[in-house]
Structure 1
Amino acid sequence: MHNIFLHYLDEVARQNSIRKAAKILNVSSTSVNRKIINVEEQLGIRLFDRSPEGVEITAAGKIVLEHCRKTLYDFNQVRTIIDDIRDLKTGHLSIETVDSMTFGVLPRILEEFSKQHPSISLSVTTSVADDISKAVATGDADMGFNFTKEIHPDVRVVAEKAAPFGIIMRPDHPLAERHSVGIADVEGYPLVRTIDARSRNSILDQEMKIISSSLTTHIFTNALTIAKQAIFTNQAIGIYTKIGFLKEIEMGELKFVPLSIKSLSDYKIGLIISSSTGIDPVKRVFINAVERIFKTLNFSA
């Protein structure tokens, strides 16, 4: 049952007459009658009882009619959304993100998005995981990039990519050729660790307290650029996801080796929105851009 039949059935039911419906639809009554008969034969039921005075919809016809009208309504709603997306002229999105996303991944997303929708303005703020979720939940930010292992009850994930933790090191490091490493393998090597500037525990701090207390941290920093420099100069290795080091890893300047620790291997990075708001056209086109870029990336190995 395609779109033409939906309109035919709807109008015939309204007019209780094939002839009157055909006149309104600007088609021949033969075409309308033939289409209805064809569907009746496919379904093995009569949709209308015919008489010299006109037609009367049957009980089975009423069920089909309800489906048709819902389908027409849903289709029109989709067309409206598509028209809104196609005709987007202005809009604004406020985005909060973990710092690592700003190194390579988010710029790729923003570049693609801005090419398609140059009139939509964006504001991007880096923050820590807890604050990102709170900002999105309360509406202070439209969307956020955050780790999704423990999701805030008032936000929902609309795009997601696996992003396990591993060791970031120089290609000439003794662990660089390993396929995976455990905590015991890392012991004895100085680490660079990212911390929350407000002295709160980071995601990794919370995990490491459970896993091991025998690791030696050489440098604490709240800036990923400092961590990168420490790794580049061989002062330390880092326990991070690939997200903030993607460009350097792709160019062969740094190496990522996954950690064989379940609690650190099942992390994902996601795009979140408030669970109390819908996805308007501006958000929808941004989500589409995120999904397209996510498909091209591999944070796992």
Structure 2
Amino acid sequence: MHSSFLRYFDEVARQRSIRKAAQLLNVSSTSVNRKIISVEQRLGVSIFDRTPEGVELTAVGTILLEHCRTVLHDFERTKILIDDMRDLRTGHINIHTIDSMTMGCLPRAMNEFGKVYPDISISVTTSQPEDAVHAVASGTAEVGVAFTFSDQPGVRLLSEKSAPFGVILRPDHPLAGRTSVTIEDIATYRLVRTIDARGGNSIIDHAITTLVTPLSTHIFTNTLSLAKLMILSGHGIGLYTKIGFHDDIESGQLRFIPLIQEMLANIRVGIFVSATSSIDPAKRLMCDALAREMAGMRLDS
């Protein structure tokens, strides 16, 4: 991919001899010399001083050599990475994720990944956001998908996307025609919420601690598929991000109404890896597939 000049130049500088360099490179001295002269003519300066004993770098040659070796080094590293990706056949990726990602986004990313690397096994564990992040930080998981907050030590955020909370409801619900709602607007309706809301520990509960009127939660569940069925059946309206309901909203089966509440409107979901471990090719490819799926989702309207 790179000009043969880089290899020629580097070896001549090492050997301080065009003849010796040509022997090591298994090419003719004439070819090496012509390549160097051609570059010198294009630059308008000499990069070597010719002497009876061999060649010596000029000041310009010394500068050029530093750049040359950086390019060669980077290219070799890139070749190794490409070889690793090409030769990738087996392995395992452990993913810890919030439940909503398993409802469309993650399966599509896994399908994309599996087309290229069908023999790499994957395990997926759904968990609370803080548990997913902790699993990555502790080394239990290679990849984590969770809401992003300021204090998340031990992990590195690769990519993120805005995912504000809103109301999930049927198209025939009285609020379905609204462009936005407040917490007060939904306080009189029965809700479907995550199981951690029973103890007041959910993200929503932390955001509405000053609310005078308590929310009327009818169904608590840690399974988003059940929450979706209950909303579709008219048992209540959901308080969720759009992620796990994206396909149903796009098809018109459900509606998403943005919630006007500063903390809940600024929620973001991100892809995490360990801050101390390297990202191997399999992990990188899976994270890239996830990021592409997330980027293609409309989550804020």
Please give the alpha-carbon distance, in whole angstroms, between the structure 2 residues aligned to 1:280 and 1:61. Answer: 37
Give the 5 Å matches for 1:163-202: 163-196=163-196, 199=199, 201-202=201-202
Matched, 1:68 2:63: no
Using the TM superposition, name which of 279-288 and 59-68 deviates more. 59-68
**1:27 offset after TM fit, Å?**
3.5
**1:81 offset after TM fit, Å?**
0.9
Contact 2:169 2:176 in 1 (8 A): yes
Match for residue 217 of structure 2? Answer: 218
Please give the alpha-carbon distance, in whole angstroms, between the structure 1 residues aligned to 2:33 and 2:178. Answer: 72
Residue by residue, what CA displacement relative to the aligned partner does 1:72-104 show, whole Å, maximum 9, x if unpaired?
Answer: 111111111111111111101111111111111
* Cα 1:213–1:103 shift into 2, 3 Å: farther
Give 4+ residue runs of structure 1 displaced > 6 Å after superposition. none
Using the TM superposition, name which of 190-199 and 75-84 deviates more. 190-199
**1:288 offset after TM fit, Å?**
2.1
Contact 1:197 1:222 in 2 (8 A): no
Please give the alpha-carbon distance, in whole angstroms, between the structure 1 residues aligned to 2:224 and 2:208. Answer: 19
Contact 1:170 1:231 in 2 (8 A): yes
* Cα 1:14–1:230 shift into 2, 3 Å: same
- Name the SS of the counterpart of 1:149 in structure 2: coil
* Matched AA of 2:108: R
Match for residue 77 of structure 2? Answer: 77
Residue by residue, what CA displacement relative to the aligned partner does 1:233-256 show, whole Å, maximum 9, x if unpaired?
Answer: 223212211111122112211001
Match for residue 265 of structure 1? Answer: 265
Please give the alpha-carbon distance, in whole angstroms, between the structure 2 residues aligned to 1:3 and 1:290. Answer: 36
Please give the alpha-carbon distance, in whole angstroms, between the structure 2 residues aligned to 1:147 and 1:253. Answer: 26
Please give the alpha-carbon distance, in whole angstroms, between the structure 1 residues aligned to 2:229 and 2:111. Answer: 26
Contact 2:16 2:55 in 1 (8 A): yes
- Name the SS of the counterpart of 1:62 in structure 2: helix
* Matched AA of 2:5: F
* Matched AA of 1:257: I
Give the 5 Å matches for 1:101-250: 101-196=101-196, 199=199, 201-209=201-209, 212-219=211-218, 220-250=220-250
* Cα 1:171–1:151 shift into 2, 3 Å: farther
Please give the alpha-carbon distance, in whole angstroms, between the structure 2 residues aligned to 1:262 and 1:226. Answer: 28
Query: Taking every aligned residue pair, what percent have the same amino acid on both sides?
Result: 53
Using the TM superposition, name which of 94-103 and 192-201 deviates more. 192-201
Contact 2:96 2:125 in 1 (8 A): yes
Please give the alpha-carbon distance, in whole angstroms, between the structure 2 residues aligned to 1:191 and 1:147. Answer: 22
Alignment root-mean-square deviation, CA: 2.2
Structure 2, unaligned stretches of length 5 or more?
Answer: none
Please give the alpha-carbon distance, in whole angstroms, between the structure 2 residues aligned to 1:261 and 1:8. Answer: 64
Match for residue 251 of structure 2? Answer: 251
* Matched AA of 1:290: L
* Cα 1:137–1:266 shift into 2, 3 Å: same
Using the TM superposition, name which of 254-263 and 184-193 deviates more. 184-193
Residue by residue, what CA displacement relative to the aligned partner does 1:91-118 show, whole Å, maximum 9, x if unpaired?
Answer: 0111111111111121111111112111
Please give the alpha-carbon distance, in whole angstroms, between the structure 2 residues aligned to 1:59 and 1:7. Answer: 19
Please give the alpha-carbon distance, in whole angstroms, between the structure 1 residues aligned to 2:30 and 2:160. Answer: 53
Matched, 1:59 2:59: yes
* Matched AA of 1:90: T
Residues paired across the two proteins, number: 300
Please give the alpha-carbon distance, in whole angstroms, between the structure 1 residues aligned to 2:149 and 2:100. Answer: 16
Residue by residue, what CA displacement relative to the aligned partner does 1:7-50 show, whole Å, maximum 9, x if unpaired?
Answer: 11101101212233233334443443333234334445432111
Contact 2:105 2:290 in 1 (8 A): no
Please give the alpha-carbon distance, in whole angstroms, between the structure 1 residues aligned to 2:151 and 2:243. Answer: 19
Using the TM superposition, name which of 192-201 and 279-288 deviates more. 192-201
Please give the alpha-carbon distance, in whole angstroms, between the structure 1 residues aligned to 2:6 and 2:213. Answer: 69
Contact 1:158 1:270 in 2 (8 A): yes
Q: TM-score, normalised by structure 1?
A: 0.91
Matched, 1:96 2:96: yes
Contact 2:200 2:206 in 1 (8 A): no
* Matched AA of 1:217: S
Contact 2:143 2:287 in 1 (8 A): no
Contact 1:193 1:217 in 2 (8 A): no
Using the TM superposition, name which of 153-162 and 176-185 deviates more. 176-185
Q: TM-score, normalised by structure 2?
A: 0.91
